Amino acid sequence: MHKKKRILIFSLAYYPSVGGAEVAVKNITDRISPEDILFEMVTLRLRADSPETEQIGNVLVHRIGRGTFFGKRWFQVAAFLKGSALHQAEPFDVVWGMMAHSGGIPAMLFKSRFPNAKYILTLQEGDPISHIKRMMFPVWPLFVRVFRKADVIQAISTYLGTWARDMGFRGPLHIIPNGVHIEIFSRRFPEAEVDVLKKKLGKGNGDIWLIHTGRFVRKNGLEDIVASLSILPGRYHIFFIGDEGQGKKKLEKFAREVGVSDRIHFHSYVPVEEIPKYLAVSDIFIRPSLSEGMGNSFVEAMAAGIPVIGTQEGGIADFLFDPDKNADKEPTGLAVNIHDPKGIARQCMRLTEDRMLRERIIHNARNMARAKYDWDLIAKDMKEKVFPMSTL
């Protein structure tokens, strides 16, 4: 009978607080049998009603602190101390840090104290690397060690993998992206159901709706989308789905300034399983990102069968192949430059007017999403390439 491997995860946040890294951990660990690997996690207690210890899927979660600004500032040290106590009670074989600037620091400290434990670092960062470098400058020597002490690094994009090498990591590096729920996003909806939703949302006959799913943050280039509406014909609209608050207010103000308030539509956050029906009533997914670690929302739209427009910043370049910029590859979307509303308008018109190109892009992108980005494939790669003791 083989010995079960024990892996301790450090992650700044976890369910019920959900972001890309949290979704990745859950979808990977849920697909690995506890007969093979036992997972535990140390994370920050972001909500007062969250229990200090809780089993979520295949992960036993230990929460520390109270989620205040002070708590986030000291999470790395507190998480290391909590992880050390858990290890001394029952040793772990592997420590796994999620994102270099948060979970990577306690994982590196753990590795320094317990050198027999193996250390995996996952790079999931979506902010510009220049911003992360400025943020980590006060502790730069410590931050460099986060990379160089790792036994294995998994990066969700080539862009982040290059960053690992630039930071001095010379060990095994695996580019394994985040996945998407292919079976959820590839669903087809009855035409009558789609028509009812169009009417409910106020989409008129002949209207072209661009859709953006995700946070209302500067790095997603949302003002550039709004600005493009002032160039496009009046039948073009933008539909934003995501958390609201100050980001929404800023976009509404900007829409008034450029005179397109009647063509901008908002919907609050919806669970991932509901997003496909909103993609089904839309015509083009768009995110002219200023930076992106990967960009799951693009792949979700590809799986759903609507064409995408985006920059090729960061990890987007791994899957968005433009017919002009990447002539050696079959096209999977249309690319624009950052801060280029005119380019956005031009590519929107191109997708609308060139039906043959549109269908070619949809076909290629959907096939790529199925072949490379299903969570079952991602979990298999993690289990076979990252977690085996032979690779550590």
Phi first, then psi: give them for residue 64, nearest 5 degrees.
-125, 155
Give the per-residue pLDDT at 47.
85
Give the per-residue pLDDT at 330.
97
Cα 72 to Cα 69: distance, rounded to the nearest angstrom: 5
313-352 per-position pLDDT tens digit = 999 999 999 999 999 999 999 999 999 999 999 999 999 9
Give the per-residue pLDDT at 1.
46
Give the per-residue pLDDT at 271.
85
Nearest to 348 by CA among 309, 322, 383: 309
Q: Which domains does the chain have, with CATH numbers?
A: 5-179+374-391 (3.40.50.2000), 182-372 (3.40.50.2000)
Cβ neighbours of residue 45 closer than 8 Å, sequence gap 6 or more: 52, 63, 64, 65, 66, 67, 71
pTM for the whole thing?
Answer: 0.93
The mean pLDDT values, 10 residues at a time, for the chain of 392 residues are: 83 88 95 95 91 96 80 88 97 97 96 97 93 92 97 97 97 97 94 94 95 90 96 97 82 94 91 92 97 94 98 97 97 98 98 97 98 96 85 51
- Residue 129 tokens read as 């690397």
Diameter over CA atoms, the chain: 69
